[in-house]
Amino acid sequence: MSDARTARADTIRGLSIPQEMLPGDGRFGSGPSRIRDAQMEALSSVSRTVMGTSHRQAPVKQYVGRIRAGLRELFSLPEGYEVVLGNGGSTAFWGVAACGLVEQRAQNLVLGEFSQKFAAELTAAPHLREPEVVAATPGALPVPVARDDVDAYAWPHNETSTGVMVPVQRPEGARPDQLVLVDATSAAGGAMVDITQTDAYYFAPQKAFASDGGLWLSILSPAAIERAERLAADTSRWIPSFLSLTSAIDNSRKDQTLNTPAVATLVLMAEQIEWMLEQGGLTWADSRTRTTSGMLQDWAARRDEITPFVTDPGARSQVVTTLDVDDEIDATALTTVLRQHGVVDVEPYRKLGRNQLRIATFPAVGEEDVAALIAVLDHLLDQSA
Ligand SMILES: *Cc1c(COP(=O)(O)O)cnc(C)c1O
């Protein structure tokens, strides 16, 4: 570290941010993400009637029903598509897909930590062939290629660790019996999507849906449901009941989960989906996140010290913005002083190991808070120059 860098880092750490400059809500994390106050109030209003009651009875099942109906509307589901859910988050769904959706071999786009983890899960599965990996360096965008010998294509809609968005489009030349599995954990609800381009569009509640973690949700096409049923009928394949997609489908149709869900997560999620629908649905959410992420990109363009990590403007995420900070400025000093002032979780993805800020602009994050965050960052950079 240069002397100048160390000195500037000390200056930044010693700065204070005027109270009136701070965003109304300081949570800019990429997941868990900010939960709106109204959601917490809704949760507290059912503290005696839903919380702490049976998930096999109407009060809790109604929330599952509201989530399923709300997602059906939000994503304008075509005939035959179903909203399925289970416990364990998106990570559990990787296991579900390894057991019950990938027949023999998948093609995985690997462009960061999360896409890498799914590829690793499929590689380790003893009943599957090694996936074909199409890799890109972090920050870049790989493209799926139609292949004869794969039965599924897998990629993230948004690679949360790098802030790269991948188009959701069936690979040109792909056969209808080849499934498209899209990890939409951080994109779903924050970016437009044409669900007909996917067979499993799966996600978790703690990102754009502003809820707590612990669940996976997956929008399944008729082809995916058919595949799941066929693989479940194959007695040579061991499928742990917790990872059984057919059992999740059966339970979801009854508005329940295989085992006990986190009820608070269901309440928060139902509230957020309905709020998003009231605001104007996915069109509204898509436009809001384009605006707020655009504000951050514009800021980067006018600051010499800040450079977008994703060099291709077309690949930049509208929900997770990754901005490299000039080497002469220690980004950790910035995130430390921000954290002391209640502005949290703008650190880069830990394993990416860059001198970077990572700022999520999910639908719950309004323009005024992003404007305030930018003003605060300007203050820290200018005052320490
Ligand atoms: C957060 C995230 C996951 C992991 O989600 P969990 O619910 O914690 O398992 C997977 N994929 C992507 C793209 C993510 O952003």
Q: pLDDT by residue (tens digit) across 341-372?
A: 999 999 999 999 999 999 999 999 999 999 99
Domain boundary among 278, 296, 326: 278
- pLDDT (average), residues 118-125: 98
The DSSP element (H or E) to which 164 belongs, if any, is strand 164-165
Closest ligand 1 atom, residue 157 Cα: 13
Q: Is 365 among the domain residues?
A: yes
End-to-end CA, the chain: 17
CA of 294 to the centre of ligand 1 (A): 24
Considering the entire predicted model, what is its pTM?
0.98
Q: Name the band, by pLDDT with cuts 50, 70 and 90, for residue 2.
A: confident
Q: Is 358 among the domain residues?
A: yes
| Ramachandran assignment for 137, one of left (phi > 0), alpha (psi -120 to 50 degrees), beta (any other) | beta
* Residues 203, 67 share a domain: yes
For 228-252, the pLDDT digits (tens) are: 999 999 999 999 999 999 999 999 9
* Residues 103, 69 share a domain: yes
* Residues 177, 88 share a domain: yes
Of 87, 90, 93, 168, the one to substitute when testing ligand 1's pocket (max ligand atoms within 8 A of C-beta) is 90
Q: Is 43 among the domain residues?
A: no
- pLDDT (average), residues 333-338: 98
The whole-number pLDDT of residue 132 equals: 98
State the average pLDDT for the chain.
97
Where do we find the tokens 């989906």? Answer: 273
Neighbouring C-alpha atoms within 13 Å toward the C-beta of 347: 14
What percent of the chain lies above the pLDDT cut of 70? 100
* Residues 119, 15 share a domain: no
* Residues 243, 334 share a domain: no
Of 185, 203, 322, the one to substitute when testing ligand 1's pocket (max ligand atoms within 8 A of C-beta) is 185
* Residues 320, 204 share a domain: no
* Residues 292, 248 share a domain: no
The whole-number pLDDT of residue 1 equals: 66
d(C-alpha 96, C-alpha 107), whole Å:
17
Sheet holding 320-325, edge to edge: 306-308, 320-325, 356-360
* Residues 297, 193 share a domain: no
The whole-number pLDDT of residue 8 equals: 96
The domain spanning residue 323 has which CATH number?
3.90.1150.10
- Closest-CA residue, ligand 1 atom 8, reads 89
- Closest-CA residue, ligand 1 atom 2, reads 185
Neighbouring C-alpha atoms within 13 Å toward the C-beta of 329: 25
- pLDDT (average), residues 125-138: 97
Domain limits at 327? 3-36+281-383
The whole-number pLDDT of residue 59 equals: 98
Q: Which two tokens stand for residue 330?
A: 């220690």
Q: Is 330 among the domain residues?
A: yes
* Residues 342, 297 share a domain: yes
Q: Is 136 among the domain residues?
A: yes
- pLDDT (average), residues 30-47: 98
Q: Is 304 among the domain residues?
A: yes
* Residues 288, 237 share a domain: no
Q: H helices within the chain, ranges in order?
A: 3-14, 37-45, 58-74, 89-100, 113-124, 222-233, 245-253, 263-279, 281-302, 331-340, 367-384
Q: Which residues line ligand 1 (CB under 6 A)?
A: 31, 89-91, 114, 156, 160, 183, 185-186, 204, 207, 213
Neighbouring C-alpha atoms within 13 Å toward the C-beta of 165: 22
Domain boundary among 278, 295, 330: 278
* Residues 274, 164 share a domain: yes
The domain spanning residue 162 has which CATH number?
3.40.640.10
Number of domains observed in the structure of the chain? 2
For 148-179, the pLDDT digits (tens) are: 999 999 999 999 999 999 999 999 999 999 99
The whole-number pLDDT of residue 372 equals: 98
Q: Which sign, positive or negative, has the C-alpha torsion 160, 206, 66, 84?
A: positive
d(C-alpha 180, C-alpha 160), whole Å:
19
- 176: exposed, middle or buried (C-beta count within 10 Å: 0-12, 13-18, 19+)? exposed
Q: Is 42 among the domain residues?
A: no
Domain boundary among 242, 262, 278: 278
For 305-325, the pLDDT digits (tens) are: 999 999 999 999 999 999 999
Q: Is 44 among the domain residues?
A: no
Closest ligand 1 atom, residue 216 Cα: 7
* Residues 209, 77 share a domain: yes
CA of 23 to the centre of ligand 1 (A): 26
